[in-house]
Amino acid sequence: MKTVRLLLMMMLVASFTSTVSAQKKVDPTGTWTYEASAAPYEYSTGDIVIAKDGKEYTAEMVLGEYYKMKAEKVVYEKNVLSFVIYIESEAIELKMTVAKDTMEGTASYSEGTIAVTAKKKE
């Protein structure tokens, strides 16, 4: 009976530890190469640059060498990054779940929602 209790306690501790470690906050800062295959061609790939200024995060989308869009309403909580950018006067809300070197999420706008993925540049 003691062995069963000990095994149950060990399993409980192990599951709690894995849950806590899975929820560690990931640092989103850096440059991420994104892909949104359902977006119009000129917006389907580019970079997202995330920085931290004090306690606040900033984000910028970069298309090609010269076209940059500053993000608004940048929030990073519980490994979820969200922000709004404006393309051709259209508000696009991005919501991305951040892992160590990848991000996955959606871009929502007036005509619907499209999938977005990103990989962190080294």
pLDDT in tens, 27-37: 999 999 999 99
Fold adopted by 24-120:
Lipocalin (2.40.128)
Residue 22: is its pLDDT beyond 80? no
Residue 13: is its pLDDT beyond 50? no
Give the tens place of pLDDT for each residue, 54-98.
Answer: 999 999 999 988 899 999 999 999 999 999 999 889 999 999 999
Model confidence at 17, pLDDT cuts 50, 70, 90, reads very low
74 class by beta-carbon count within 10 Å (0-12 exposed, 13-18 middle, 19+ buried): buried
Task: Please give the pLDDT value at position 8.
Answer: 44
- 8 Å CB contact between 105 and 92: no
Domain coordinates in residue numbering, the chain: 24-120
